[in-house]
Structure formats: structure tokens, C-alpha cells
Amino acid sequence: MTLLAVFAHPDDETFGCGSVLLHAARRTRTVVVCATLGEAGHPSDRVTVPPEGLGSLRERELHEAAAVLGVDQVETLGLLDSGMDGDPSPGTLCATPLEQLTARVRDAVDRHRPSVVLTLDGSDGHRDHVRVRDAVLAAVEPDTALYLHCLPRSLAHAWLLERAGAAAAAEYAAMPQFGTPDEEVTTMLDTAWCYQTRWKAIQTHRSQDSPFDEISEDLRRRVLTTEHLRRVQPRWTGGRPEHDLVGLPG
């Protein structure tokens, strides 16, 4: 059995879903597919970008983080990072027709035959995250469990309040729908047990300033010790949140 996780950039797997991957790796094979190498990211002052470019460095960090998270296999799709705004350049994720990206994701699904598929829900407003989400939703057949990883709106607002005045906070505060409505969260995984390992994986992405660096330890633990997801397939019919993923072995 396999959990297949599909993301736009290196670090999405760790900053976003690291504890879900650790949770699944104890019981099943895990595969990460990354659409780009994050070439349009902003490198941290802590690192020197090698001559071959930021993408090469971020790809190495992706593999290092995946090893910490117990991921069995990493694949990249060779598309380019679209950046946050402006017209996407040819070859970038957002310039790629959705049907072509969907076909690439469907190929990965057909090859790995996952029992669970995971991606980010795109509620942070990043257009590459939204693009990958839409392709995953279109590619996965109804008989496969499908989850979108969320940041509940209550935590998103707490995050913005702590970072008020920071450039990132100002950028995201302009997005009124930042975060997923709390009532749409269907699944809550207790991942307190893997906090230290998740933190180690976060630190492997040295080229990027971690979004967890400038929030309090209390809020950091609230975010990193419980994973919040929205189950798309099988369709959620209401009730109390589930505490495990449908499709994982017992």
C-alpha cells in the first residue's frame, strides 16, 4: 500500500505535510512527487546559491528532508516555479495547461497505485499550490482516498496576528480567505510524537526562511503537533472529525 503526496515546490512536503508523511511512513510506503524545484524562491542569507542555481540546492534539500521523514521515493516533474505573481513564463507550473499537468499527476497515480493521495488545499493563495491541487483533484479516481492538507482559519489568523507588520503577514493579510474554515476540517491527526523529527526536517530546508521561525513556540507547537486535513474522497458526510486516514493499513 502507498501514500502518494503531490506538491508544487521543495519544502511543501515538510513545511506543509511533514507530520502526515511521518504518520503514514510507520505503516505504509510513501512517495513524494514535486512539480518544480522552487527556482523562483528567495534564498535565505544563511546559504550561498551554487553556480548551478537555486533549484539544484532546493532539490538536494528535498531529498534530505524526505529521508528524515521516512519517504521511500521522491520524483520531480521538471516544471518551473511560477513565482507569486506576474505573467507565468513558458515552462512554469501555471503556464502549463491544466489538462497536461493532470495527465502528469495521473501517470504517477497509475504507476504507484496509491491507497491514499495527499496535497495542499491551496488556501494560502499561492497560485502554484492551487494549480497542483486542481490537477490532483482532476487526476484521482473516486475509489482512492484523497485528502487536502489545511491550515485552519483560526490558526491562520493567530499566525497573522503574531507576525503583524512583517512583509509576509502584510502580503497574506490582503487575502480575505487565508486559511481553511475550521468547520471544513474533517480529519485531525495527533502528531505530537513526531514534533522533534518534523523540526529536524524543517531545518534541512536551509535555503528558505522557515515560516515557523518568527512565531512563538506555543503557536508553533499548536500548528505542528496536530495535522488538519479535509477529506475529499470518500465524500465526507458530517460528524465528529476522524483521527486517522482512510486507506492506511490498520
Q: Which residues are within 8 A (CB) of 250 and not within 5 positions of it... i.e. 6 or more apart?
A: none
CATH superfamily of 2-233: LmbE-like (3.40.50.10320)
CA-to-CA dists, residue 69 to 34, 56, 95, 143, 221, angstroms: 15, 20, 31, 27, 18
Domain chopping of the chain, boundaries: 2-233
Q: Distance between CA atoms of 196 and 203, rounded to whole angstroms?
A: 11
159 pLDDT band (50/70/90 cuts)? confident
Average pLDDT over residues 187-191: 98
pLDDT of residue 235: 95
Cut 0.75: pTM above it:
yes
pLDDT for residue 139 is more than 80: yes
pLDDT for residue 163 is more than 80: no
DSSP assignments along 185-230, one per residue: --EEEE-GGGHHHHHHHHHH-TTS--TTTTS-HHHHHHHHSEEEEE
167 pLDDT band (50/70/90 cuts)? low
Edge-to-edge strand list for the sheet holding 2-7 = 73-79, 29-36, 2-7, 116-120, 145-150, 226-233, 187-190
What does the pLDDT look like over 17-62, one tens digit per residue?
999 999 999 999 999 999 999 999 999 998 999 999 999 999 999 9
pLDDT of residue 98: 98
Extract the runs of DSSP E, i.e. beta strands, from 116-161. 116-120, 145-150
pLDDT for residue 229 is more than 70: yes
pLDDT for residue 166 is more than 60: no
